[in-house]
A and B are shown apart, each in its own frame.
Chain A
Amino acid sequence: MKVSNEDFIKNLSAKAEPFQSFDSLLIFLMKWVSFTIVFFGVSAYLLPFREGFAGHAVHPLFILNSILWLMTSVVGACAFYFSLFPESHETRYQKLSISFFALLTIILLPQLDFFHLTVDFEHELDLWIGRCGFLITAYAVVQATVMTLWAHRAAPQKPGHVVAWAAFSSASLGCLLMQAICFHDTPIHLLTWHFVPVVLLTYIGQLISRKIFHW
């Protein structure tokens, strides 16, 4: 039986209960940073640092890459936050985060040995050599899951973006962690087992997100 608009409003009003808006960006970032520090710290404690890390850590390229991975992740977390709202047209964080990732790729690509690319790539297909890719995935899955659970009541304008950005941000942090742990420095290794997981996890996140955040 069709309900009149007045009765419909009365029925909805009867369900009124106290509620709070989503956290502001600042509060969200504080929670994200706190969780990241703890989770990152525990992961770094459990996994052995690469040999000669202290000497490697002062190398300018290492410092630059670390900063870029960190910025990709932090700005990606902001893009995740703004993806949660129905009226949000904020694209600057998305563009900035992707720009940082693109910069990392641009720095890496010229270092590839294109003459021996096929041979080098075949060598990288050893799963033991690529275990850092699995570590990045495991790290990203945990962190992205926590972010997704925090955002479960969202009403995103683009449902596919929520988990995609959570995965992108979390996987980038995983790559930052691998800077200290993974001792394979070759460009082909980094491309295959660090960069590709970021892209794949983001894509998979987008597929999952459409199902979870459809409203």
Chain B
Amino acid sequence: MVTFNRISAVEENLKHLYLESMSGDREKYERFLTMLSSVVKKYLLFLSKNGLSADLLDDLHQEVLLSIHEKKHTYRIDKPILPWVYAITRHRFIDFYRSMKRTPDLVEFHDIALEEELNKISLEEILAFLTQEQQEMLVMVKIEGESYEDAARKLHSTPENLKVKIHRLLKSIRKKYESL
């Protein structure tokens, strides 16, 4: 799991490059877009659970970069930059699925936003707060990557019930983390 320090470094560098590129300097803007490109690609792979072909990934990735280019003035410089990047990427990702007449699981997207915040602390710290049942749920679905259906079967629950429980669990973990 990505630690807080690594997320922090990406956040700081990207923000610094954004601020430098506000002057209109082409070289600085290119450096910003290059770093942004790798962040966006990783996030698209995460959103799609590695389900996109290389061509589709490239197309979507370029659409996201274009949207960020067109809407770069909507970033508020007193706020973290990664949530803004992720929000635009999610917006384009959802648009892409709508255009292909497929609806992404919206509970998943809401969980993703919470998970980004949780990436700030280590797995061990998260699990220390949980009951055995909660640990099993989280590890099976979010770490080992089991489907909700398989995990629900093992945990004697239903996929819908499991989704809601995990969503609530992630929220409570964030609240606990904020109180530390």
Contact = CB atoms under 8 A, between A and B. Distances in A.
Contact of B76 (A3, A16, A19, A24): A24
Interface in B17-31: 21-27, 29-30
B73 A22 contact: yes
B86 A87 contact: yes
A16 to B, nearest CB: 4
Contact of A21 (B29, B62, B70, B76): B76
Contact of A84 (B21, B23, B30, B74): B74
B65 A8 contact: yes
Contact of B62 (A3, A10, A157): A3
Chain A, interface residues (CB within 8 Å), range = 20 to 34
A157 B74 contact: no
Given A18-B23, A86-B84, A12 B74 contact: no
A26 B134 CA distance: 43
Contacts of B24: 16-19
Contacts of A24: 76, 78
A21 B75 CA distance: 6
A20 interface: yes
Contacts of B78: 24
A79 to B, nearest CB: 16
Contacts of A20: 22, 73
A129 B112 CA distance: 54
Given A5-B58, A10-B30, A18-B23, A154 B74 contact: yes
B47 interface: no
A184 B106 CA distance: 48
Interface string B62-92: 1001110111111111110001101110010
- Please classify how large the interface on chain B is, using the bins under 10, 10 to 19, 20 to 34, 35 or more: 35 or more
Given A21-B75, A22-B74, A12 B69 contact: yes
A119 interface: no
Interface in B115-138: none
A155 interface: yes
Given A2-B58, A86-B91, A155 B30 contact: no
Contacts of B77: 21
B115 to A, nearest CB: 15
A87 B22 contact: no
Given A24-B76, A155-B71, A5 B22 contact: no
Contacts of A5: 37, 58, 61-62
A85 B66 contact: no
A15 to B, nearest CB: 7
A9 interface: yes
Interface of B: 21-27, 29-30, 33-34, 37, 55, 58, 61-62, 65-67, 69-79, 83-84, 86-88, 91
